[in-house]
A and B are shown apart, each in its own frame.
Chain A
Amino acid sequence: MKKRYVITGIGIVSPYGIGLEPFWQGIKGGESAVRPIKNFDGSGYPTKVSGEVSDIPYKEYGYSFSFKRMPRISQFSLLASDLALNDAGFGELTEEDTELMGVYLGTRNGALEKTGIFYEKVVLEGPYRSAPLLFQETVFNSIAAKISLKFKITGPSYVTPAGETGTLAALDLALLQMEVGRVNRALVGGADEFCEVLHQGHCHLKITATDDLSRPFDEKRTGLICSEGAAIIVVEELTGAMERGANIYGEIIGLHTLNDQHRVADNDPQGINLARCMELAMQEAGLEKVDCLVTTANGNRHIDQGELAAIKEVFTSRVPIANIKSLMGDTGGAGGGMNIAAAVMMLRDQTIPAIANLENIPEGYDFVLESRTAGLETVMVNAAGFGGNNFSLIIKKY
């Protein structure tokens, strides 16, 4: 990267509630956001819990009833964008702001619930009984288009459907476009919704935790807990942020991505290319080590194993390991954004939150089991998805 990029705004809609503070207080306090499923009757499924977002009091945020009718993923991502823009001091956007701002949104499944309903009607009732307005929601980029439309952002608008690495893929694209000067600011993040179709699919794939515990890295883990939400950040060039006197959360100093060369639809348990991402991100940042690693591990056997192998490969000395999915589950495309938000808050408070539920501990690692104060200058954030996509990002205290 030739230019310098900083994070100046964060908007979170998570199982902890609305906003960055409830999210961070929950994580920092070691409070689990995983609860019995409320969206539908989960009692018949092997996994009966999730981290769901409670009904959003949309009126408090100035939205009309039409907000309520949108897919949940759009409710989350619109509100999180709103919060991020306000947090960054872009409550009012000028035409000059909006032309050089891009929207980059990652997701795993998009508006899956409405997609399911649309197709169900086509199959069970016939094509002409389904609803055209529902069809629009099935189009993957509708979630980003809604953000562009709502905030009148006329710069580029993309959806990066990179599964669990959605946010990092979005950030990667945003940085590339800032580097070549297509935009100078970016609304970047990820979102996913939890619904019965998704849960059913995950259960058919046998990737969910059958003991209802989110316990990445634990040797007795049984799978992941699927959650939902949106995490959106504002990223801009340092010079622009300084000119407008913006509050700077942290600086992005390294990002690298490389796909696994393993089997399709399976992650490399040796984490070879994730390790290369971590090495190359550090090389780009000019670092030999980082002060903490926010891990991507979600309780899936191969993803967890791959990350542990990569950590052993890359770090000669022990690096403190954090994992917030142990507290809130896997929020899909939003997960990377949640991890970035947590990393930024760790740098602010100089605190590493504890990993929950980790009892059967793999040997040879520095898992943070009790929340810990530490001198933090740099934090690495990893992302690995079921498509074998790997990302490693380094954020520095500004």
Chain B
Amino acid sequence: MQKAVVATGLGVLTPIGNNVETFWAGLVNGRSGDQPITSFDISEYRMNRGCELKGFDPKDYFTPRQIRRMDRASMLAVVAAREAVADAGIDLQNYQGRIGVILGTTLSGMISAQEYFRKILCDRQDRALATNLLEYPLYTAGTHLIDKLGIEAEQISISTACSSSLHAIGVGLDLLRTKRCDLVIVGGYDPMAELTYAGFELLKAMSRDGIKPFDAERKGLVLGEGAGILILERQEDAQVRGANIYAEIAGYGSSSDAFHMTAPHSEAAGILQAMKMAMRDAELSLEDIDYINAHGTGTKHNDAAETLGIKRFFGDLAYQIPISSNKSMIGHTLGAAGSIETIAGIISMNKGIIPPTINYSTLDPECDLDYVPNVAREQQIRAFMKNSFGFGGNNAILIVKEVE
């Protein structure tokens, strides 16, 4: 029997709340974070919607010197991590050298890279050029996190596009199971960056008409930004220190479609393979899953493929399991999505309330499951499944359950 791994600290920055409490209040009330973009010049674009953080001021968290030397992405990761560490009530000094920092991201310091590019292209070189470059690499946020928390730790950065942070949680799980680490700080972060905005716009993946996951009228995703960080430890250790335990991270699955770079697998084979691995890992049966926190981006093909995968995996049971998409409210936070939404799922389980999929109005024959439309629902959850899928046919599945 494997040692159980549990979550004991949570921290988020999201477009509808800059800490776990306000985030949750937004989720149950169906609040939308979708507003006009303010972080870069949007005037050349034919749309202007995005789910940015509201009222996030770096000065509330960092010194002016730190702000000069930190990319926004690193700030997001560090702020969410501080909340998670405080929430866990843990003294990190007791874990020095036995800590793992596992972060997923797709862009990381891309805003710094953009600044660098712009300066070079417009021939405006200044003293900050070197800082722009140093802040760009995808491991930098992890390095800042280690520095700002003052810990001795190993660091693994993972970049698998939109599934990045769900993989990070899974890797953290394995690090604790194998006893390589005694504590892991896991999750993901991504900022709103023009490069991605332009890219998704060119791919015609963005909706001008709201985020409507699983709805027949869904038109695409809306980009978001944020961070979600969890503190994980082995259950026995958490119990010894008398920690507040949120949930058990019971299983993780990972696969690749190996089918097409952008289109989902026509039979959802990769999704099935990852779900199988995760459920085997969790030692649960299909009947045990009371809720699915969907990837649910709001794009035509992804939502259909996810629904197909759920139906193929759960069979007739699929129609009885409530499914909801947090992205209907917070947008697609890319590398942060998996961990932010896992945190949402954990609180849903603890409170016995499923946040809705908002903006839902019209049934799509291809997406005919129970998506908890528009209104939160009270329901007991003993275990839930969290899905994240990424570019290139990348699939991650996490199973989370109540602590025994």
Contacts and interface: CB of A to CB of B under 8 A. Distances in A.
Given A154-B269, A205-B130, A136 B156 contact: no
Nearest to B334: A139
Contacts, number: 213
B121 A124 contact: yes
B89 interface: no
Contact of B260 (A115, A149, A177): A149
A127 B202 contact: yes
B67 interface: no
Given A204-B130, A264-B147, A157 B202 contact: no
B259 A149 contact: yes
A154 B258 contact: yes
Given A120-B121, A173-B156, A264-B147, A149 B261 contact: yes
A156 B301 CA distance: 22
B156 A160 contact: yes
Given A118-B199, A139-B391, A258-B152, A387 B261 contact: no
A182 B274 CA distance: 10
B261 A142 contact: yes
Interface residues of B, number: 77
Given A136-B261, A204-B130, A261-B152, A145 B394 contact: yes
A122 B117 CA distance: 11
B155 A259 contact: yes
Contacts of A250: none
Given A127-B201, A149-B392, A205-B130, A259 B153 contact: yes
A142 B256 contact: no
A287 B138 CA distance: 34
A200 interface: yes
Interface residues of A, number: 72
A146 B261 contact: yes
B3 to A, nearest CB: 12
Most B CB within 10 A of own CB, among A148, A206, A258, A273: A148
23 contacts: A98-B258, A109-B137, A123-B121, A132-B199, A142-B391, A148-B393, A152-B258, A157-B160, A157-B256, A158-B167, A160-B157, A160-B158, A161-B137, A161-B157, A162-B139, A172-B156, A173-B171, A182-B254, A259-B152, A259-B154, A265-B135, A387-B143, A388-B143
Given A124-B121, A135-B200, A141-B161, 8 more contacts: A123-B117, A132-B204, A140-B138, A148-B256, A149-B261, A162-B139, A273-B152, A387-B155
Interface of B: 44-46, 69, 97, 101, 106, 108, 113-114, 116-118, 120-122, 129-130, 133-135, 137-140, 142-144, 146-147, 150-161, 167, 171, 174-175, 177-178, 180, 194-195, 197-204, 254-262, 269-270, 273, 277, 390-394
Top 6 A-B residue pairs of the complex, sorted by shortest distance between their CB atoms: A145-B392, A135-B199, A161-B138, A156-B254, A157-B256, A140-B159
Interface of A: 98-99, 102-103, 108-109, 115-116, 118-120, 122-124, 126-128, 130-132, 135-136, 138-142, 144-146, 148-149, 151-163, 169, 172-173, 176-177, 179-180, 182, 200-201, 204-206, 257-259, 261, 263-265, 273, 276, 385-389
